[in-house]
Amino acid sequence: MSDKVHGQEPINREPEISKLTSTFITEDGYERNHCAQPAEEQLNARTHRVLIDGCVHNSLNLSITSLRSDFPQHEVVCALQCAGNRRHDMRTVVREVQGIDWFDGAVMNCRWRGPLLKDVLEKAGVADIDETESLHVAFASFQVECQEDSWYGASIPLSRALDPDKEVILALEQNGKALSVRHGYPVRIIAPGLAGARAVKWLDKITVQKEESPNYYMQRDYKVLPPQAVDSESAERYWGITPPVQEMPVNSVIVSPRTGETAKRDSDGRVACHGYALPSGDGGPVVRVEVSTDGGNTWTEAELEHHDGEGRWTWKFWKAKVAMVLGKPRSIISKATDASGQMQPAVSNWNLRGVCYNGYGEARELEVQ
């Protein structure tokens, strides 16, 4: 049961799925990097500063101590998911796409803690600014050069940053401990419900501005391009007019049995299956997961597990027992629905970069014994 390592330089890795889903709170989650990880010696919580500037009345230059002691600390449990999670399914169920072959382990569910971005922005005097509706908050890390840009950045709408219900934080802690270097020490953004790409690690600067972040990973990656963009060349004209991925879609995955495995029936002729489900960006929690063994003609409702810390941003574990005919090839599919009524489609729209795949969870080519 080893990790799937998709790349060493930079490191891109997802845990083996049954290990990942063995605990509700993830200790050792995936790593997604567009740049090398900064050297440990380079990052120092005592000297690190986060600059807050742009359309604010007073620019701030905050130390980690100030972020920890001058603001109320807010804790949020949420899933952090790469928009490329399940790209392997889009590639195999629909058709070839560009990008790392993430299976379904590019997600982790953690307890994060730090000041609310809203409080930090208010201290900088953003609340007095007009036109907050059309502004953006951009995050930047200049620690290391990225593959496609000299720095890493992303942005979210200012309205989201200022909404306390959205719980966007400058995370200093993960699961009760200081952030590890690999997950963004000494401070990173956590924006519950949004694509992991916006959760900038090794955060140096926050800018309130009129435009989205100009960074490559905001403008030319992490977008659901229209189907007419079939290769890099035809994609050119769509990058500028396609919105960036922000809210992630409702999703579910079958953790066991896996495609190609042998599944044993119990004495009642039923096969046990289980998996995880994720809510849509703002539409959580997941309220229902159904499974089907006849391609979606009939569905069985799965049982949802309860865990400490669960809420509107977290994943949900589910399990079910389904009657299955002996032999092969057999399949099981799963479908999640969240509190806002968002429901997974059978297959989701193909897009060149293979992001936001949320077709039914699938275990195919099973042999039932």
Ligand X SMILES: Nc1nc2c(c(=O)[nH]1)N[C@H]1C(S)=C(S)[C@@H](COP(=O)(O)O)O[C@H]1N2
Residues in touch with Mo ion (CB under 5 A): 32, 82, 196-197
CB of 17 to ligand X, least distance (A): 15
CA dihedral over 117, 119, 123, 127, signed as positive or negative: positive
CA dist 316 and 78 (Å) reads 11
- The least CB distance from residue 6 to Mo ion, in Å, is 12
Residue 86 near ligand X by CB under 6 A: no
CA 357 to chain CA centroid, nearest Å: 12
Angstrom CA distances, 119 to 70, 79, 122, 123, 210, stand at 10, 22, 5, 6, 20
Q: Does 152 bind ligand X (CB under 6 A)?
A: yes
Nearer to Mo ion, 197 or 271 (CB): 197
Decide: is 284 part of the binding site for ligand X (CB under 6 A).
no
Of the candidate spans 25-33, 228-236, 248-256, 262-270, the one that interacts with ligand X by CB under 6 A turns out to be: 25-33
Which one, 169 or 200, has the nearer CB to ligand X? 200
Residue nearest to ligand X (CB): 196
Instruction: Count CB neighbours of 29 within 10 A.
Output: 23
Interface residue with ligand X among 31, 104, 149, 310 (CB under 6 A) is 31
Question: Which CA distances in Å does 228 have to 146, 225, 239, 355, 359?
Answer: 28, 8, 12, 15, 20
**Of 15, 29, 249, 361, the one binding ligand X by CB under 6 A:** 29
Closer CB to Mo ion, 204 or 221, in the complex: 221
- Using CB distances below 5 to 8 A depending on partner kind, what does residue 76 bind out of Mo ion, ligand X, none? none
In the numeric block, the tokens 């060349």 are attached to: 233
Measured from the CB atom, is 34 or 223 closer to ligand X?
34
Please, what's the b/e burial string for 117-153 (b: 16 or more CB within 10 A of its CB; e: otherwise)? bbbbbebbbbeebeebeebbbbbbbebbebeebebbb
String marking each residue 32-51 x if it binds ligand X according to CB under 6 A: xxxx----------------
Distance between CA atoms of residues 303 and 287, nearest Å: 10
Out of 88, 123, 201, 321, point to the residue binding ligand X (CB under 6 A): 201
Nearest-approach distance from CB 156 to ligand X, in angstroms? 13
Candidate list 141, 219, 246, 252; residue touching ligand X; CB under 6 A:
141
Cβ 259 vs Cβ 352: under 8 Å: no
| Half-sphere CA count of 170, side-chain side, radius 13 A | 32
Q: Which residue has the tokens 């007073």?
A: 58
Q: Taking CB under 6 A as the rule, which mask of x and - marks residues 180-199 in contact with ligand X?
A: ---x------------xx-x
Whole-angstrom distance, CA of residue 223 vs CA of residue 241:
10
Question: What's the min distance (Å) between Cβ of 200 and ligand X?
Answer: 5
Q: How many residues bind ligand X (CB under 6 A)?
A: 17
CB of 366 to ligand X, least distance (A): 30
Residue 308, SS3 per DSSP: coil
202 near ligand X (CB under 6 A): yes
Amino acid at 174: Q
Residue of 221, 216, 213 lying closest to 154 (CA atoms): 213
Footprint of ligand X (CB under 6 A): 29-35, 82, 141, 152, 183, 196-197, 199-202
